[in-house]
Amino acid sequence: MAPSKTKRISLFLGGSEGAETNSVASSNSSSNRLQKPEQYPPPAPLHPPPPIPGPASRSPSPGQGLGRPGTPPSDTGGSRLAPVEEKKKRRVSRLFGGGASSSNEQVHQQQAGPLAWVLGHQGKVPYNLTMLLNGEKVPELWDEEGDTFVYLFPRMSNKGPSFRLDSSLYSDSQYLTRLVHGQLYSENSAGLAPLPDRTPQNSSGNYGSSRANSPDRSTVEGSTSDGSKGSRALSDAAEDDRSEKHLYVPIALSTDREPVTPTTGEPRLQTKDIDTLITYRNFFSFLVGQSIVATERHSEIFDVFMRVADILHYYQFSNIDGSTFGEVATSSFNAYIDELNLADVRTSREKTIEAIVLGERLRSMKLYTEGFVHAAGKFESIKEAQIPKFELMSPKTGTRLARAAMDLDNRVANINHKLSDFDFPAIFSGILNSDTADERKVIRFKQWKTSFMGCRSFVLDYYKTKYGSWLPKAKSKKNDLTTSGLNRLVLLEMYRDFSNLYDFLVDRSNLTTRTVEGLMTEDDGMDFESATRRSLRRVLAEYDRSTPPVQPPIPFDLPLYPSNELKKDPKARMKKIKSDELNRMLKYSHNSDAFLTPFLEAFMHFEVKQAHGCSMDELWELRTGQWLFCYAVLQSLPMLVIDVPGVKFTEGVEYFLCEPPRSGVPWGREDTQRSRTWFGVAGGSHVVSLPTDIVEHGVEGVYRRSHCWKMAQQWSQNDAMMAAAVQETMQGNPLPAPPGFLDPNPGGRDRSQSPDRRRESVMNLGLEALPLPSGVAPASPAQMRPSSRNDPSKTFDAILQSADLAKPSKKKK
């Protein structure tokens, strides 16, 4: 129903039972009430959060008096309650009824604490409500350079503006922009419904699911913005954008329905009127980036921001594609996330759920991602807690969270199978177990296994000594872990140890010849060195493809080997090396810039002991077995220890943070919620767009963010040819697209190209990321779908007849 030009939208954000009784609408006004949206499920009982220390705030704008968390409040931020003697000297306000009873109530409130306080400070920093409730200028929200005066009371109240702001703050709301310029009530405003009533309905603090049923202030003469100093058509607004504007916020107060007579005096503000005014004060303060105020009825940060989110949604704040509430709201909320520490959910399951819910309601991917990743890591613990706020998450998020937790369980089971006993049977099930391999003529594969098992024993002994046992036990004398087994902190420590060992032993000039399919372009030489390197890469390829997920080859996948001037003489290679020569050879087979850790020091002592009395060939066999073990451990860890990009609070977390939210933002439109990346198909001119999250969070995306791939880029950056080769290796090798993918001829394909034989991977497609031209967006599935030509008026017989007519007629011979 299109409201009349003088109609005001009724917004109640709280109230007591008595207040609700007074807000019953008349029959005439109730017929004009807007349709109610779907009710929110009741959340958990609310409890005040512990005090949160806030960092330094942003610089206040002109006219702002009250600081954000971390900024000392000005005099205007003091409690509105003062000693009774001082109160008698002040003007008596009838907002609370006035009189002796009010003074007694004020003394009681002073003893109980402030009526309102600034969120984010240690303790309760009082906030003075007097100017806000009297309709006077609020100093911290009064910008002398602002072009918009904001009124919280109707014109007939004869109260002045409460805030002065810049119009750019609400420019992302077409609703408010048109309201300021006087055209809102001349057009249909369908789709706007009353905000949800988030006022606790009982002493336990449970949310109510009812909506405010008060009438609109449509019958109040002059209650719209039409005819105000700054009101004019949108076309006129473009001519002089900095002219003075006046915004009468369409909120409903109980005082609007109470007639003022000489006997009644100024009408009183009810409790829910005060809540409404504070909520709108917080809303405009949110846009400015100023302090947020709490009361006893709405004392929790979560509650306050949920109410702000309701107003942003109600007034249709949005960017172009609806993925955020606009640049102003997004940047401001990001600052609140940092200042109020909203994203640090490590120690609270309830705060984890709140981060997800607020991320959804305020369309903040930053907070949503932090909450989602932490929730996926401790999903079982969250389910056991049975926190009612869990029901406030959207069903889409709930489903994605459960799937992420299942995927994480599979990853953990895989790593436990490999690292609980450092057992890697796949390494010895291929060429190392073959009696027919040509390399057996010159290589003793049994010595590789012996060296491998020796390195395994060293690692087991080292970690047993470090943690007290293997697997580690929580609260042992030698560790301060709170969970037993291979938790995130244990695996991270192991990952750092083996990354340092990799840097210490790797040959940084020998780029891999393996492809993502396990193929190699290696020379066929049968001398000892060539056969050793070729066989080692074959073993590594077999291991990478032995269990899902298939692992991409490390760019630099061979170790440095000891060498001397006699390395080409077969007889000299079989002689035992003297201690002095052995130490020199081992020294030159190490990278001296590797970061020295206790683990690396222990390995160096172990290696010298193992190498004592060895010949040149035996040193190569020793190093090969050690490298196989190091490679197997390193390649097992990235899928668990590489945290999701953008997650900030990771220090000390024992659960895993590797499961990202997939498939785009859950609050976006179906055709725009999932960002996409352009790729060029290798060997052709085809271009295709794929969901960005598949590229970034797929197997190759995770491994490219791991240590070995980062170091490969660093080591090759000073050599243009090497850098290009590394980049090509990291992007995958040119391969044909999988069956049916950009293939006009799906037939005639051999068995090796069937879907079950190929890796589900972006890099396997032979795709190369391309820069997106400016002003061009990837076509969504809805845009690429052909338009339907179905005619619903046609009968079935007519359709068949048209199909027959379309067939070419056969000519008689």
- The 10s digit of each residue's pLDDT in 190-203 is 445 566 666 544 33
SS3 at position 441: helix
SS3 at position 157: helix
Q: How far apart are CA 620 and CA 67, in angstroms?
A: 67
At which residue do the structure tokens 């997800």 appear? 356
Q: In this structure, are strands 687-691 and 767-769 parallel, antiparallel, or unpaired?
A: unpaired
> What average pLDDT does range 613-625 have in this prediction?
93
Calculate ∠ Cα 181-185-188, nearest 5°: 120
Both tokens of 444, joined, read 């003793």
Domain that holds residue 665: 660-744+757-773
Distance of CA 296 to the CA centre of its chain: 31
pLDDT at 636: 95
Calculate ∠ Cα 503-504-508, nearest 5°: 60
Q: In this structure, are strands 125-126 and 148-151 parallel, antiparallel, or unpaired?
A: unpaired
What are the φ and ψ backbone dihedral angles of 744, each rounded to 5 degrees?
A: -70, -15
Cβ–Cβ under 8 Å, residues 554 and 580? no
Q: Is residue 647 included in any domain, yes or no?
A: no
Q: How far apart are CA 265 and CA 15, in angstroms?
A: 23
Q: Give 774's pLDDT tier (boundaries 50, 70, 90).
A: very low
Cβ–Cβ under 8 Å, residues 81 and 114? yes
- The residues near 741 (Cβ < 8 Å, ≥ 6 apart) are 765
Count helices and strands in the chain by DSSP H and E runs: 28, 9
Q: How far apart are CA 225 and CA 236, in angstroms?
A: 16
CA nearest 22: which of 258, 260, 279?
Answer: 258
pLDDT at 689: 54
Q: How far apart are CA 424 and CA 237, in angstroms?
A: 72
Both tokens of 661, joined, read 């939210």
Cβ–Cβ under 8 Å, residues 76 and 139? yes
Cβ–Cβ under 8 Å, residues 516 and 395? no
With 70 as the cut, is the pLDDT of residue 624 above it? yes
Q: In this structure, are strands 125-126 and 687-691 parallel, antiparallel, or unpaired?
A: unpaired
Q: How far apart are CA 12 and CA 730, in angstroms?
A: 57
Same domain, 682 and 635: no
Q: Is the pLDDT higher at 500 or at 255?
A: 500
Segment 545-573, tens digit of pLDDT: 988 888 999 999 999 998 866 556 677 77
Of the residues 292, 316, 342, which one is the last residue of a structural domain? 342
Same domain, 121 and 235: yes
Q: Where are the alpha helices (DSSP H) in 362-440?
A: 365-377, 379-385, 395-419
> What average pLDDT does range 715-744 have in this prediction?
64
Cβ–Cβ under 8 Å, residues 567 and 616? yes
Distance of CA 96 to the CA centre of its chain: 45
With 80 as the cut, is the pLDDT of residue 318 above it? yes
Both tokens of 19, joined, read 């207040």
Cβ–Cβ under 8 Å, residues 496 and 487? no
DSSP H or E run through 679: strand 676-681
Q: In this structure, are strands 148-151 and 163-165 parallel, antiparallel, or unpaired?
A: antiparallel
Cβ–Cβ under 8 Å, residues 206 and 42? yes
Which residues partner with 676 through β-bridges? 691
Q: Is residue 692 included in any domain, yes or no?
A: yes
Q: Give 219's pLDDT tier (boundaries 50, 70, 90).
A: very low
* Sheet architecture: strand order including 767-769: 687-691, 676-681, 767-769
Give the 3-state secondary structure of 188-223: CCCCCCCCECCCECCCCCCECCCECCCCCHHHCCCC
pLDDT at 80: 31
Segment 61-102, tens digit of pLDDT: 333 334 444 333 333 333 333 333 333 333 333 333 333 334
Both tokens of 336, joined, read 């609140």
DSSP letter at 258 equals S
Both tokens of 524, joined, read 């066929």
Both tokens of 803, joined, read 């199909």
Q: Where are the alpha helices (DSSP H) in 70-142?
A: 84-89, 99-112, 130-133
Which residues partner with 149 through β-bridges? 164, 246
Q: Give 156's pLDDT tier (boundaries 50, 70, 90).
A: confident
Q: Is residue 539 included in any domain, yes or no?
A: yes
Q: How far apart are CA 786 and CA 781, in angstroms?
A: 10
CA nearest 54: which of 66, 36, 68?
Answer: 68
> What average pLDDT does range 451-462 have in this prediction?
97
Same domain, 697 and 626: no
Calculate ∠ Cα 253-137-328, nearest 5°: 85
Distance of CA 635 to the CA centre of its chain: 26
> What average pLDDT does range 383-410 have in this prediction?
95
SS3 at position 629: helix
Q: How far apart are CA 483 and CA 480, in angstroms?
A: 9
CA nearest 293: which of 275, 311, 309?
Answer: 275
Segment 241-286, tens digit of pLDDT: 568 899 999 888 877 655 544 444 455 788 889 999 999 999 999 9
pLDDT at 447: 94
Same domain, 173 and 222: yes
Q: How far apart are CA 72 and CA 65, in angstroms?
A: 10
Of the residues 282, 317, 342, which one is the last residue of a structural domain? 342
How big is the chain, counted in residues?
813
Same domain, 26 and 167: yes
Same domain, 252 and 119: yes
SS3 at position 676: strand
Amino acid in position 406: M
Both tokens of 279, joined, read 């909520």
CA nearest 219: which of 7, 27, 32, 23?
Answer: 7
Q: Is residue 27 included in any domain, yes or no?
A: yes
Q: Is residue 11 included in any domain, yes or no?
A: no
Average pLDDT, rounded, for the chain: 73
Which residues partner with 680 through β-bridges? 687, 768
Segment 664-693, tens digit of pLDDT: 788 876 545 555 555 555 555 566 555 555
Same domain, 702 and 628: no
DSSP string, 373-385: HHHHHTHHHHHHH
Same domain, 306 and 184: yes
With 90 as the cut, is the pLDDT of residue 517 above it? no
Lowest mean pLDDT among 54-58, 271-275, 417-421: 54-58
Cis before residue 755, ω within 30 degrees of 0?
no
Same domain, 63 and 148: yes
At which residue do the structure tokens 């491998």 appear? 452
Of the residues 325, 342, 359, which one is the last residue of a structural domain? 342
Amino acid in position 341: N
Same domain, 591 and 621: yes
pLDDT at 466: 94
Which residues partner with 687 through β-bridges? 680
Q: Is residue 404 included in any domain, yes or no?
A: no
pLDDT at 481: 92
Q: Count CA within 13 A, CB hemisphere, residue 146.
A: 27
Q: How far apart are CA 306 and CA 340, in angstroms?
A: 15
Q: Is the pLDDT higher at 793 or at 719?
A: 719
Same domain, 75 and 222: yes
> What average pLDDT does range 438-450 have in this prediction?
89
Q: Is residue 779 included in any domain, yes or no?
A: no
Segment 327-364, tens digit of pLDDT: 999 999 999 999 999 999 999 999 999 999 999 999 99
Q: How far apart are CA 294 and CA 285, in angstroms?
A: 13
Q: Count CA within 13 A, CB hemisphere, residue 577.
A: 26
With 80 as the cut, is the pLDDT of residue 58 above it? no
Q: How far apart are CA 732 and CA 748, in angstroms?
A: 25
Cβ–Cβ under 8 Å, residues 204 and 45? yes
Cis before residue 471, ω within 30 degrees of 0?
yes
Total tally of structural domains belonging to the chain: 3
pLDDT at 690: 57
Q: Is residue 749 included in any domain, yes or no?
A: no
DSSP H or E run through 689: strand 687-691
pLDDT at 157: 83
Q: Where are the alpha helices (DSSP H) in 575-615?
A: 579-588, 598-611
Q: How far apart are CA 102 and CA 87, in angstroms?
A: 11
Amino acid in position 400: R
Same domain, 635 and 671: no
